[in-house]
Amino acid sequence: MTLIYFLIVIGILVFVHELGHFIMAKRAGVRVEKFSLGMGPKVVGYKKGDTEYVISALPLGGYVKMAGENPDEEKTGAQDEFQAKTVWQRAKIAAAGSLTNIALAFIVMPFVFMIGVPAEGPARVGFVEKGSPAERSGFKEGDVLEKINGRSIDGWTKALSLIAVNPESDVQVMIDRDGEKMSFVLRPEVATEFKIGSSGLVPDMLVEIGAITSGFPADKAGIRLHDKILAVDGKTIYHWNQFARSVRESSGKPMKFAIERDNRRTSVTVSAIESSGTYVIGVQPFQNLVITKHGFFESLSLGFHKTIEVIDLTFITLKKLMTFSLSIKTLGGPVMIAQMSGQAAEIGLSAFLGLLAMVSVSLGILNLLPIPVLDGGLLVFLGIEAVRKKPLSEKTMQIAQNVGAVLLIGLIVVVSYNDVMRVFFNN
């Protein structure tokens, strides 16, 4: 099923990309000789008008072949050839594929919010890991993250993403602590096989009792299922880890729990007992994922802003990679996309569409990079032609294309290596 979901994602993204080129070429009066979904030998196809529509054997990629597209093709003087069109017309054709991919994200993302997404409130810190960068910087439970490097934070998804792309880099964080605005410099450390930034900040998590061990202190004290622990000895509790730490560090001394039960506040005194070398009271957390569905117009707004956020994060990531501030181990290829596609599909349609939108943005922006053999490289050539009032020589363009091909092959090798290491060696 993972392979099927992967092929669906790649098929949609490639089709949309090439459709952008195809539509703009047709609008400019360029004769399109072939529209292929996939690469390599033709599996099936049919011809309509001047264009042959085919599905090829290798599902990774696709292309639109336009008449007179390659500079080394023999020029016939026909007005429906690509090279016969103005620089502006050719630039629009070259950019159309990537822009269509980005447009797809703007179209798909509102459906994510209409179908439903996990409810997300302010980025309130629920737990600060001991010895972590966050603890060294002075963060505390209950802090609300408001800005990271000048970017407004509306939830943990954005906050953790910005932390992830800044390993071993100083990050300016603006917080709200009990109504007081404060600023901290956080330096995330490198973590996980993806070599991304980790701060030790853990999102808040409602401390709700999901299981009680019979005969243990919680059971004897009268704690019930779905009780919500609000505070321990007067200290507000924001996360289960914080609650568990309070129990462990109590050393068996009586603790006064402030509890919300059936929308009423009450209190219970509990003394932990030692078990397997640590102090416990015999409770487990309740896991409850709340899905929120949004209305049509609200989803349009949320989808638009989410797509802008993804575009911004993609540019930040590219900048970090190009300046070697982010490890190339973060890059992933087809295997990584396949794994993510399968995982997203298991979660549900909303997650799958969200992944589709994010990968579509990445594909669109990457294709606009000024590397020969990519759409962005062609746009550079056309920009030079516009300034010089004539195209570059075929020899110069061929050399540039060869250099671009080497760079692209090198990128493919890197992401393939990363994929293999993640799958087989997990480092």
What burial class does residue 119 get, using C-beta atoms within 10 Å of its C-beta: 0-12 exposed, 13-18 middle, 19+ buried? exposed
Other CB atoms within 10 A of residue 326 CB: 26
Q: How far apart are CA 32 and CA 52, in angstroms?
A: 8
Q: What is the DSSP-derived secondary structure letter of residue 222?
A: T
What are the pLDDT tens digits along the chain (427 aa)? 677 877 888 888 999 999 999 999 999 999 999 999 888 888 999 999 889 999 988 877 888 999 888 766 676 778 888 888 999 999 999 999 999 999 999 999 999 999 998 877 889 998 898 899 999 999 998 999 999 999 999 888 889 889 988 888 899 999 999 999 999 999 999 876 667 888 999 888 888 999 999 999 999 999 999 999 999 999 998 888 889 989 999 999 999 999 999 989 999 999 999 988 899 999 999 877 778 899 999 999 999 999 999 899 888 888 887 777 766 666 655 555 666 666 666 778 888 888 889 889 988 998 898 888 889 999 999 999 899 888 888 788 888 878 877 877 776 666 666 555 555 455 4
CB 207, CB 285: distance < 8 Å? yes
**What interhelical angle do 334-347 and 349-367 show, nearest 10?**
150
The residues near 356 (Cβ < 8 Å, ≥ 6 apart) are 9, 12, 13, 104, 108
- What pLDDT score was predicted for residue 192? 66
31 DSSP 8-state letter: P
User: Which pLDDT does position 427 carry in this prediction?
Assistant: 46
Residue-wise over 298-313: b if at least 16 C-beta within 10 A, else e?
ebbebbeebbebbbeb
- Judge whether 52 and 120 are in contact, CB under 8 Å: no
Q: What is the rounded distance in angstroms from the CA atom of residue 326 to the CA atom of residue 303?
A: 28
The one-letter code for the residue type at 89 is Q
The two structure tokens encoding residue 173? 């964080």
Please give the Cα distance from 82 to 85 (Å, whole number): 6
Give me the pLDDT at residue 193, please. Answer: 61
Place of tokens 């009271």: 281
- The predicted pLDDT at position 415 comes to 62
Per-position DSSP letters for 234-293, written without gaps between them: TEE--SHHHHHHHHHTTTT-EEEEEEEETTEEEEEEEE-EEETTEEE-SEEEPP-PPEE-
Q: What is the pLDDT of residue 288?
A: 73
Rounded CA gap, 86 and 147, in Å?
46
Q: Can you give the pLDDT at residue 418?
A: 59
Residue among 18, 69, 141, 146 flagged as catalytic: 18
| pLDDT (0 to 100) of residue 292 | 87
73 tagged catalytic: no
Whether 1 and 345 have beta carbons less than 8 Å apart is answered as yes
CB atoms within 10 A of CB 330: 18
The whole model's pTM is what?
0.77
Do the beta carbons of residue 361 and residue 311 sit within 8 Å? yes
The DSSP 8-state label assigned to residue 328 in this structure reads G
Are 2 and 352 in contact by the 8 Å Cβ rule? The answer is no
Residue ranges and CATH numbers for the domains of the chain are 2-116+347-425 (no CATH), 209-285 (2.30.42.10)
CA distance 386 to 135: 55
